[in-house]
Structure 1
Amino acid sequence: MSASPFMRAVRITGHGGPEVLEPAEVAVPVPGAEEVLVQVSAVALNNTDLWTREGAYGSPGDPDARSGWRGPVGFPRIQGADVCGRVVAVGTGAERSLVGRRVVVDPAIYETEGPHANPVGLMGSERDGGYAEYVTAAVERVHDVTDSPLTDDQLAALPTAYGTALGMIERGRLQRGETVLVSGASGGVGLALVQIARARGARVLAISSGTKIGAVREAGAHEVIDRAGDVAEQIRTAAPEGIDVALDVVAGELVSEGLPLLREGGRWVIAGALGGYGVAFDVRRLYLHNAQVIGSAMHTPAHFDLLMGLARRAEVQPVIAATFPLDQAAQAQEELSRRGHVGKIVMHP
């Protein structure tokens, strides 16, 4: 651990554009009871970084309100949910044997104890995160991945994108042999969905476009639907019997067009709204066919345990699109917002 009581960090001082990301020298956090101090080796970026910075989440009473993930953000806030690093110190009640171990931090803040708790907050949003040289985490939220064949960058790519993807797949009860539709398939969550659904033995139809189609096919998609064409017609052609499960981070018009393509008892799982949050659909397509629309925010502790098992066995292979030093956080977020890449963008403090 650094002998200095200060560390480099990048924090947001309010909602706004990339200009609100400010490099700062701040005190190294001190691990409290049942906490550890992690020296960050890699921190991955997510759309939630952009939306938290912009205040784009709205509130239940006002869709246009400037808000963080679950309400007002306390400023200044160090962003960054996805951390891989090494434990360098422990607080009271934490095992000293953790010191020196390579870990991934579960970034969720849960409403209750127990394996099936729902997340109600996120590191980097409701508490300080990994855009820094060090971060603290509750001991039950650090997972030892010392022996994983994956790189630090790949491990940092897992928590939010792959955690969200696994949460969607679990909540959608995807079974081997089912036909699954993945929207936004070249993004972080989308690629994770393709990889995990393929590993589960599903037939994967993925929606993507342009130069990204090859990478999506390489990730495991059996068929790629071109977003530039008539999406519903392409889905009907590729899956004349219908879709069992849709794993959707786009929403918007795709929900209206896609719900009638579900089979009897089909499940449409939504974990994002890149295509718009205002959705209209014929409700008869739901109740007459015992279909379900399921909201899915991130993962539960049980889902995250499953994900860390996949990581230790290297059963998923996150794709790293680009890496940046921490002091280029604004450029890294701008690169993310352009959506020209395939895979995850990672920073090195």
Structure 2
Amino acid sequence: METTELVEVVLPGTVEPEGLRLRHGSVPAPGPGQVVVAMEATGVSFAEQQMRRGRYYDQPPFPFVPGYDLVGTVASAGEGVDARLVGRRVAALVKVGGWASHVVIDAADAVPVPDGLGAAEAEALVVNGITAWQMLHGKARVRAGATVLVHGANGGVGTVLVQLARAAGATVIGTASARHHDALRALGVTPVDYRTEDVPARVRELAPGGVDAVFDHIGGRSVRDSWRLLAPGGTLVSYGSAATRDDTGSKQWPVLKILGRVWLWNALPNGRRAYFFNIWAGRAFAADRFRARLRADLTQVFAAQRRGEITAQVAAVLPLAKVAEALRLAESGTVTGKVVLTP
């Protein structure tokens, strides 16, 4: 029987995972153009790890409900929404609000999930899949025969990215701690241990002429090393500042430093390119175009999954009531893929 109670996780401030709170209330009603999605799966992303420290560069003021993306069934629809959407399983990118049993979203942001794809597996492909697809095909434009370096190849984005790169015909080098190397080899990746090896030196051994693309979520010194590892005509895609997760001070400064480096490097006449990838770029100025691109790219990711080119890597599935455990597990660095929460 469908529950009539709303359960959501509240992040009250800069707290340890055990400081997250469960809040109960009434299921919201959709407004015009909106739907209520009964959440079946939502994920623990790196963004939430930063948010609980107050380190995500554009997070809302505390308190708020985290949750970057979700998969669920449309429970009700507001005025102006096609009633046939009710009962459909959909995915949505929301940035915040996903850690809840019921989530109100604009109907235009709901992307259909193919039949036969489980909620947890689909969830592991939403923000991770869109990010990986847009960086690989939209920014770096990786083609068959290329060699790419993926930092954090065992992570949520990394596991999707290496599979998409292999499907595109690229040779993939991936950094991860030794415990993840067998899993990466099974995906066709040449692993490099960032804890015990000199990563730039090892990558130069594997790709003496440089790599055609680097995908760097670490920031700091790593992004500078990544730029130097590029072959002529290569592309660096930076998409985070994980190295500063536990720092204090301005949460915007690490991103601004990367943006400054990207601007400087692109001004150099050497044929290489650098980007700072922001999945939300363009939404404020061209919402319809943003939604169309997001829908098209996620549909491509789901299609790649159905073709067997990628397998969703679900590290663990835990209920909302165990969100502290889920967050600690995601932050531990011991898992491959994505930690998923269910109602």
Range of TM-score over shorter length: 0.7 to 0.9
Q: Which amino acid aligns with 1:232?
A: P
Pair 172,303 (structure 1): closer, same or farther in 2 beyond 3 Å: farther
Q: Distance in 2 between matches of 1:285 and 1:161?
A: 26
SS of the residue corresponding to residue 224 of structure 1 reads strand
Q: Where does 1:3-42 land on structure 2 (aligned, <5 Å)?
A: 4=4, 6-42=5-41
Q: Is the 8 A contact 1:145 1:312 kept in 2?
A: no
- Aligned twin of 1:191: 159
Partners in 1 of 2:145 and 2:304 — Cα distance? 23
Deviation at 1:179, TM superposition (A): 1.2
Deviations 1:241-293 (A, max 9, x none): 21111111122222222322211121110001223446798978972422222
In structure 2, give the amino acid aligned to 1:193. Answer: L
Tell me, yes or no, if the aligned pair for 1:153 and 1:346 is still in contact at 8 Å.
yes
Residue aligning to 2:69: 82
Deviations 1:145-189 (A, max 9, x none): 142x32110111122222222222122222222111101111111
Alpha-carbon contact 2:265-2:274 (below 8 Å) kept: no
d(CA) in 2 for partners of 1:40, 1:174: 34
User: How high is the TM-score relative to the length of structure 2?
Assistant: 0.85
Structure 1 residue 15 displacement after superposition: 2.7
Q: 1:343 aligned to 2:337?
A: yes
Please say if 1:309 is aligned against 2:277.
no
Of 64, 70, 85 in structure 1, the residue corresponding to residue 58 of structure 2 is 70
Structure 2 match to 1:96: 83
| 1:256 partner letter | R
Within-5 A mapping of 1:206-221: 206-221=174-189
Q: CA deviation at 1:55?
A: 0.8
Evaluate the alpha carbon distance shift between residue 179 and residue 94 of structure 1 in structure 2; reply closer, same or farther with a 3 A threshold: same
Q: Give the unaligned 5+ runs of structure 2.
A: 245-253, 281-289
CA distance in 1 between partners of 2:261 and 2:13 (Å): 37
Q: Which residue of 2 aligns with 1:116?
A: none
- Kindly state the Cα deviation for residue 236 of structure 1 after the two structures are TM-superposed: 1.0
**For residues 255 and 130 of structure 1, do their structure 2 counterparts lie closer, same or farther at Cα, with a shift above 3 Å needed?**
closer
Secondary structure at the counterpart of residue 232 of structure 2: strand
> Structure 1 vs Structure 2: percent identity of aligned residues?
30
Aligned length: 315
CA distance in 2: counterparts of 1:47 and 1:310, whole angstroms: 20
Question: Which residue of 192, 213, 222 corresponds with 1:225?
Answer: 192
Match of 1:298 in 2: 279
> Quick one: structure 1 residues 166 and 312, their matched pair in 2 at CA, closer, same or farther if it must change by over 3 Å?
closer
SS at match of 1:275: helix
Moved more, 135-144 or 211-220: 211-220
Is 1:139 matched up with 2:107?
A: yes
Aligned to 2:125: 158
Cα distance in 1, alignment partners of residues 69 and 266 from structure 2: 38
Distance 1:284-1:35 versus aligned 2 partners, 3 A rule: closer
| Aligned partner of residue 52 in structure 2, secondary structure | helix
- Contact 1:38 1:134 survives alignment (8 Å): yes
Q: Is the 8 A contact 2:152 2:158 kept in 1?
A: yes
The amino acid across from 1:324 in the alignment is L
d(CA) in 1 for partners of 2:222, 2:337: 22
Q: CA deviation at 1:238?
A: 0.8
Counterpart CA distance in 2 for 1:294 and 1:304 is 22
Q: Is the 8 A contact 1:319 1:343 kept in 2?
A: yes
Please identify runs of 4+ aligned residues in structure 1 that moved more than 6 A.
278-286
The equivalent of 2:247 in structure 1 is none
Select 2:220's aligned residue among 252, 275, 289. Answer: 252
Counterparts of residues 114-133 of structure 1 (less than 5 Å):
122=95, 124=96, 129-133=97-101
The answer to whether the 8 A contact 1:106-1:304 is kept is no
Q: Secondary structure at the match of 1:212?
A: helix
**Residue in structure 2 matched with residue 181 of structure 1 by the alignment:** 149
Maintained 8 Å contact 2:318/2:342: yes
Contact residue 184 and residue 190 of structure 1 kept, 8 A: yes
Aligned to 1:267: 235
Q: Give the gaps of 5 or more residues in structure 1.
A: 58-68, 108-121
- Aligned-pair Cα RMSD in Å: 2.3
Deviations 1:18-63 (A, max 9, x none): 2331011122121111111111111111011121122113xxxxxx
SS of 1:49 mapped into structure 2: helix
TM-score of the superposed pair, with normalisation by structure 1? 0.84
Distance 2:20 2:234 in 1: 42
Deviation of the 1:3 alpha carbon: 6.1
1:333 alignment partner, one of 321, 324, 327: 327
User: Would you say the 8 A contact 2:130–2:297 is kept in 1?
Assistant: no
Say if 1:18 and 1:330, in contact at 8 Å, map to a contact too. Answer: yes
